[in-house]
Amino acid sequence: MLSNSRIPTISKHGVMHKSPLGVRYRSLPSFPDQMIMVFIDESTPYKDGGADWITDLARWTNLIEKYGAPKWGVVMCDVDDTGNHGEVAPSTPPNITIYRGFPRHPPTEFYFVDAYESGYVGPGGVPPLITLLVDNSGSMETRTLQDGLDLFKTWLNNGGTMTPDPENPLPPILWQLVGFDSERWLSHVCNYIEEAV
């Protein structure tokens, strides 16, 4: 039986909705033995680097000093990039890769895999867990990404390929999908880390 005790359900700055893990494991890898991918299209609270951004950036910095950053990386995907980068991230937080130009309705897994590869900083091999944090605040939601996301899940379940070898299949990559309902994405990353350690 899978233990969900370390999957977040409620955050301090809004609700986080969990989905079942993509692949069944007996227990979750411990933090920071994972990769985090964030998908968000706008962040009004972070516009122009105001107080919310300063607070959340300081919190993130303190958390990675205390627990370490996710070993396989963190990548924030700027969905439907319109060139207004400051609204999503006024500056680049330490230990986070910002992936610009992620399409609003990705037709294939390509952009997900490209973002994964751009944010990957692991010690080798595949991450023991990939957590997909997706903005569900209203301006976008999980179904905004659905076509490409479904194919990316297939890629993960196939062990990082769309053409698995039936004679020699790769082990699947464990993933979980977590939605958040406010635009303070960095705060939600912090909440997730606090609840995962």
Phi/psi for 94 (5° steps) reads: -60, 140
Q: How far apart are CA 82 and CA 51, in angstroms?
A: 23
194, containing H or E segment? helix 185-196
What is the predicted pLDDT for the residue at 195?
A: 84
Q: Which two tokens stand for residue 2?
A: 């899978």
Task: State pTM to two decimals.
Answer: 0.86
What is the predicted pLDDT for the residue at 86?
A: 58
**With contact defined as beta carbons under 8 Å apart, do 173 and 156 qualify?**
yes
What is the predicted pLDDT for the residue at 13?
A: 39
Per-residue pLDDT of the chain (197 residues; tens, 9 = 90+): 233 333 333 333 344 445 555 544 445 677 788 999 999 998 889 988 889 999 999 999 999 999 888 999 999 999 985 655 557 888 899 999 999 889 999 999 999 999 999 999 988 888 989 999 999 988 899 999 999 999 999 999 999 999 999 999 999 999 999 999 889 999 999 998 888 87
